A = this chain, B = another copy of it.
Amino acid sequence: MVLNTTDLATAEPRGVWEACRNGEWDRPTPGVCQENVQANLVVLPLSDAFDFLRFCQRNPKPCPLIEVTDAGDPEPKLTAAGADLRTDLPRYRVYRRDEEVEERTEIRDLWRDDFVAFLLGCSYSFEYALLAAGIPLRHIEAGENVAMYRTNIRCISAGKFAGPMVVSMRPIPARLVSHAVEVTARLPQVHGAPVHVGAPEALGITDLKRPDWDGMTEVRPDEVPVFWACGVTPQAVALEAKPERMITHSPGHMFVTELTNKELTNR
């Protein structure tokens, strides 16, 4: 059976986990389980996990922790009981020190007793909240990626984990910027309020048209570029640290939790 996003838009998370596990779904997750929080995945060996957890604690805007599993346990019991993080994402990336990156649809045979999984908040939930509040998002209307940039904001380092904050930029109509701040400030678990409004040069971004990760860069005269801390930050930082082994979701192929977008504001 071949599924499409429409099939999964109103599915239960469990249905998406099973579709991933059975090989029926290996595509990006925007639009899947629209009511549910999706998460970035970072898997690291225990020897790196304490430093990485401290890094996330010190940099909550780019690295909002949704759940951290016990070593060796592939089940995120608190936000997705019954799921298996080795099989229930559509696509993974496996990084080995100084080797090629491998793309996979499951990581069962790679799993180890000392692996710790980090689930980190993702912007899909705050975009859902922005759209629900009547704030238009051009990259979604255009079906493009959001533009992302490395900035001159240094994250606070922890052990080997160090590096700049990555931000995503959304052009917001000037009369709605204040409202966009209010709406996202209520959602600290998915990056929270913007880190910067206007003036890209103050972030060290010399040309807004040339993002470090491709995406929609058009900002119209009545709009302001608004910058949110981005979940690419912890992955970029973890990669720089060259851990002996790291596994992440493949970009855009997130893990679907049982946490709902509505619950985020109540936590």
Contacts and interface: CB of A to CB of B under 8 A. Distances in A.
A57 B50 contact: no
Contact of A50 (B50, B156, B159): B50
Nearest to A50: B50
A46 interface: yes
Contacts of A70: 54, 158-159
Contacts of A49: 50
Contacts of A65: 57
A118 to B, nearest CB: 10
Given A50-B50, A70-B158, A159-B70, A57 B57 contact: yes
A78 B50 contact: no
A68 interface: yes
Nearest to A188: B188
Interface string A155-194: 0101100000000000000000000000000001000000
A94 interface: no
A46 B53 contact: no
Contacts of A46: 50
The size bracket of the interface on A is 10 to 19
Contacts of A54: 53, 68, 70
Interface in A52-68: 53-54, 57-58, 65, 68
A68 B78 contact: no
Nearest to A58: B78
Contacts of A50: 46, 49-50, 53
A9 B188 CA distance: 33
Interface string A235-246: 000000000000
Interface centre among A57, A58, A65, A159 (most CB of B within 10 A): A57
A78 B68 CA distance: 23
A188 B265 CA distance: 13
A85 to B, nearest CB: 16
Interface string A60-84: 0000010010100000001000000
A188 B267 CA distance: 11
A35 B241 CA distance: 38
18 contacts: A46-B50, A49-B50, A50-B50, A50-B53, A53-B53, A53-B54, A53-B57, A54-B68, A54-B70, A57-B57, A57-B65, A57-B68, A58-B68, A58-B78, A70-B158, A70-B159, A78-B156, A188-B188
Query: Shortest 9 CB-CB distances between A and B: which pairs?
Result: A50-B50, A54-B68, A53-B53, A57-B65, A57-B68, A49-B50, A78-B156, A70-B159, A50-B53
